[in-house]
Amino acid sequence: MTAAVGSIWAPVRARLPLYRKPAILGLSIFGYVLFAWLMLIVPATPGFKSIVGFDSFAYWNVDPFHPYLEPLGGLDSFTYSPAFAQAAAPFHFLPFGLFYALWASFLVVNFVWLTRRMALVWLIFLPIPLELYHGNVHILLATICVLGFEYPALWSIGILTKVTPGIALLWFAVRREWRSLAWALGATVAIAAVSFVVAPGAWFDWIKFLTTSQETGAGPNDWYSFLFPPLWLRVAAAAALIVWGARTDRRWVVPVATCIAMPVFWITTPAILVAIPRLRKKAGPAARTTDSAAPAGLPTAASAAARPALNGAATN
């Protein structure tokens, strides 16, 4: 039966390259039209209440010393750390339209870098155009999932915004990449310390905000919240996934786990998954661990180097 299936599939597979370019072109046109419709037509629809840049408005409008006056879910609701509020505060001197244009352009640059020539095709994945419409940080987190292996300090951005992306640091712990773990934690602590000196009260307010805000699988009072497991269970699942990925050298699990562990799961959250193609194309992380430091079962630099020699000896 396997041979029969193979004989049927072989000619189809041989023809797939012929349809690749037309398919990419067609999907690109569809993605472009969908994005243009969302950005230009939808906001002009009578009775449409959401504004372009809904999430980025909270970044632009935040009071760096009292960021948490608005309850969770409101237009001005700010949920990230005081460090992010202080970094965003100077942009309030710009008109909001200009700020959103700059922020959205930054997200687009990240998006194009992640997807390259498949950018327009990815626009048919609804979380992506909606993310660019609302102006959240999920695409930025996708970039961090890719670059965070080589530049671990970037994980401080994820920790000081959504907090739960810090679960990705288990990758370094499992693989005993202590220097990378130290860079990630050290950068986070250093930024938080400077921010605390500037506005200590805001940090206490943030802790109170996080501990008293209603926790659901999605967002407070959202009708779809019953579809998602509680946060603690999703974080536990994300941790298990990262441990498995670290031990089997699968970097692509990091954006998946980061997505699963998001404190509030909204329709734009899966935009983090745009990091997967870039991570799957990588042959594997550079061997930063020594043979003595690598956990059992993980490939090491010495074993990788010895493999060609062993193969050569076997053929002689």
| Tens digit of each residue's pLDDT (9 = 90 or more) over 173-194 | 999 999 999 999 999 999 999 9
What pLDDT score was predicted for residue 77? 86
The pLDDT score that the predictor gives to residue 293 is 44
If you average pLDDT over residues 206-229, what whole number do you get? 64
What are the pLDDT digits (tens) for 145-184? 999 999 999 999 999 999 999 999 999 999 999 999 999 9
Indicate the domain borders of the chain. 22-290
pTM score over 0.85: no
Place of tokens 């690749």: 20
Between the alpha carbon of residue 154 and those of residues 96, 99, 157, 161, 187, the distances in Å are 27, 23, 6, 12, 8
pLDDT at res. 291: 37
Q: Is the pLDDT of residue 113 over 50?
A: yes
Exposed e or buried b for every residue in 109-124, given b needs 16+ CB within 10 A? ebbeebbeebbbbbbb
- CA 163 distance to own-chain centroid: 12
Q: 42 versus 112: which is more confidently predicted?
A: 112
One DSSP character per residue, 116-160 reads: GGGHHHHTTSTHHHHHHHHT-SHHHHHHHHHHTTT-GGGHHHHHT
Mean pLDDT over residues 301-306, rounded? 43
What pLDDT band is residue 278 in, cutting at 50, 70 and 90?
very high
